[in-house]
Amino acid sequence: QSVLTQPPSVSAAPGQKVTISCSGSSSNIRNNYLSWYQQLPGTAPKLLMYENNKRPSGIPDRFSGSKSGTSATLGITGLQTGDEADYYCGTWDSSLSAKVFGGGTKLTVL
């Protein structure tokens, strides 16, 4: 049981938009920055978004992040087959003094 809650899977057609939610609590999402990670099949995770809505260099602006209260959302527009991956949210939990991740969401581009 993950501290952060994500939907197990989402799907959409190429060119469409999809959102992935991440739900937590006051001790993690509300009071700390949230990050998103993309893990393509058979590869190591990669940072996709940090400090809630900032994109590292090289991440296209098709990817966006937002946070409100104890929840956060990753948005992906103009879906491509290359976006098929597992997506994880992560943050620090101040009560646990631990880094926490969501259970991951598998994105399928139909």
Partner 1 sequence: EVQLVESGGGLVQPGGSLRLSCAASGFTFSSYAMTWVRQGPGKGLEWVSTISGSGGTTYYADSVKGRFTISKDTSKNTLFLQMNSLRAEDTAVYYCAKEGGGGGDYEINYWGQGTLVTVSA
| Chain contacts with partner 1 (rule: CB under 8 A) | 2, 32-33, 35, 37, 39, 44-47, 50-51, 56, 86, 88, 90, 92, 94, 97-104
Quote the tokens at residue 82: 């290359």
Q: Could you tell me the smallest distance in angstroms from the CB atom of residue 83 to partner 1?
A: 19
**CB neighbours of residue 61 within 10 Å:** 8
Between CA 9 and CA 20, with CA 15 as vertex, the angle to 5 degrees is 30
Between 30 and 46, CB nearer to partner 1: 46
Task: Please identify, using beta-carbon distances, which residue of 12 and 47 lies nearer to partner 1.
Answer: 47
Task: Give SS3 for 53.
Answer: coil
Judge whether 109 and 80 are in contact, CB under 8 Å. yes
The residue (of 17 and 54) whose beta carbon lies closer to partner 1 is: 54
The least distance separating partner 1 from the CB of residue 13, rounded to whole angstroms, comes to: 26
